[in-house]
Amino acid sequence: MNFELFIAKGILSGDKDNFSRPIVRISVVSIALGLAVMIMSVAITSGFKKAISEKVVGFGADIQITSFGLNNSFETTPISINQPFYPSLADTAGIRHIQVFATKSGLIKTDDQIQGIVMKGVFKDFDWSFFDDKIVAGKKFTIADSVRNDSILISSKIADKLGFSPGDAVRVYFINPDEVTPRGRKFVVAGIYETGLEEFDDLYIIGDIRHIQRLNNWTDDQISGFDVFVDDFNKLDQMWEIVYNTIGFELNATSITSLYPQIFDWLDLQDMNVIIILVLMIAVAAINMISTLLILILEKTNMIGVLKALGTKNVSVRRIFMYHASFIIGRGLLFGNLLGIGLAMAQQYFHIFRLDQESYYVPYVPISLEVLPVVLLNMGTLVICLLFLVVPSLVVSRITPVKAIRWE
């Protein structure tokens, strides 16, 4: 053990009855609370981004392949299902799944209400895993190879507004641009889903793609496009480029962030809030540590004078107090980790803090607790606080042995 570290530990163990003891406790508490707030802020923001991104991607797709004639009216230009990349694109590294889809706008009519909807037609390759925990009543339906299925999924908002329950018949009317009379189709509600995203819950019903093909007078091999899902959302831009270069020049590939920019721009704004919180918490902890270090130096003035009289250099004395400060910061980080990680895990498993799903898209505060961000927060807090303490530690060099030994 080196000399400076030995003295610093001696000071730490002998501070029980000193004036600085409550000041040190305040510093430990400020660091602990600051770190806990930072851990919760990062975990909550990551949780929000992950939960909402998964909902948007699960209902849509990471990447959609369509014709260049796609417009905002949901009346799409058909493309052929017989593409050289389908279904082999799913074998590409980073691509999890590819499926076909078609969309068509329509109206649900009851005795006293009319509701505008968009029907998303799916085929037997549809990945139902997203709806496993989104079905609030009824059940999913299956699609056979040859027979059209009249079952549909509707959202809880549409069901509540129009008074539908699983098993009820639903009359939907579709209008073709070149036809005067709307076409009506009778469906049966198989299940009711709820995503918490108004963009989907207010609008979409899920049904068999062959209904849309027949309504649009398409052939069996004509669809609106392909949904592509990737393994890692953080590599979405990279995978989009691969898909775009694979499908050729006749088709277009659009990422989910381009399809719903308002949602992802809102999520990106949350990062700024986290940065502000991190800066404020670290600043408060650093200021508290500066005050604590100055008080410790003032209290140990006699000791500093004795050490200098015995030939200890200023650098060594400064190092003693930096070690001492490190012990205090380390204690604060320990308690901060216990508090922050404990709260995060409690929220993750018990959903203590609830939210208004209509405003925040999720029914409770989501948590995404990862090891790397927690480690970086600890290291960053320790390093920044120690850097802030370098300047106040220079006070040691201004203390002379004669005046220090006479200090009372």
Q: How many other β-carbons are positioned within 10 Å of the β-carbon of residue 106?
A: 22
Task: Work out the mean pLDDT of the chain and round it to a whole number.
Answer: 89
Q: What is the pLDDT of residue 11?
A: 73
Q: State the average pLDDT over residues 370-398.
A: 90
pLDDT digits (tens, 9 = 90+) for 193-231: 999 888 899 999 999 999 999 999 999 999 999 999 999
| 27: pLDDT strictly greater than 70 | yes
Whether the CB-CB separation of 378 and 32 falls below 8 Å is answered with no
The alpha carbon of residue 341 and the mean position of all alpha carbons in its chain are separated, in whole angstroms, by 17
pLDDT reading at 246 higher than 80: yes
Mean pLDDT to the nearest integer, 352-360: 87
Phi-psi region of 170 (alpha: psi -120 to 50; beta: other; left: phi over 0): beta
Distance between CA 28 and CA 334 in Å, rounded?
9
Please write down the long-range contacts of 175-179, taking CB distance under 8 Å and 24 or more positions apart.
175/105, 175/106, 176/215, 176/216, 176/217, 177/75
Q: By mean pLDDT, which of 72-86, 130-144, 300-314 is the weakest? A: 300-314
Question: Contact at 8 Å (CB) between 190 and 166?
Answer: yes
At residue 372, the pLDDT reads 95
Confidence of residue 303 (pLDDT cuts 50, 70, 90): confident
Q: How large is the average pLDDT for residues 75-89?
A: 92
pTM: 0.86
The pLDDT of residue 74 is above 80 = no
Query: How confident is the model over 158-182, as a mean pLDDT?
Result: 91
Is the predicted pLDDT of residue 122 greater than 90, yes or no?
yes
- pLDDT of 156 above 80: yes
Q: What contacts 24+ positions apart, CB below 8 Å, involve 88-95?
A: 89/228, 89/243, 89/246, 92/242, 92/246, 94/230, 94/231, 94/232, 94/235, 94/238, 94/239, 94/242, 95/228, 95/229, 95/230, 95/231, 95/239, 95/243
pLDDT digits (tens, 9 = 90+) for 306-324: 888 878 888 888 888 888 8
pLDDT recorded at residue 398: 77
Average pLDDT over residues 129-141: 94
Distance of CA 43 to the CA centre of its chain: 8
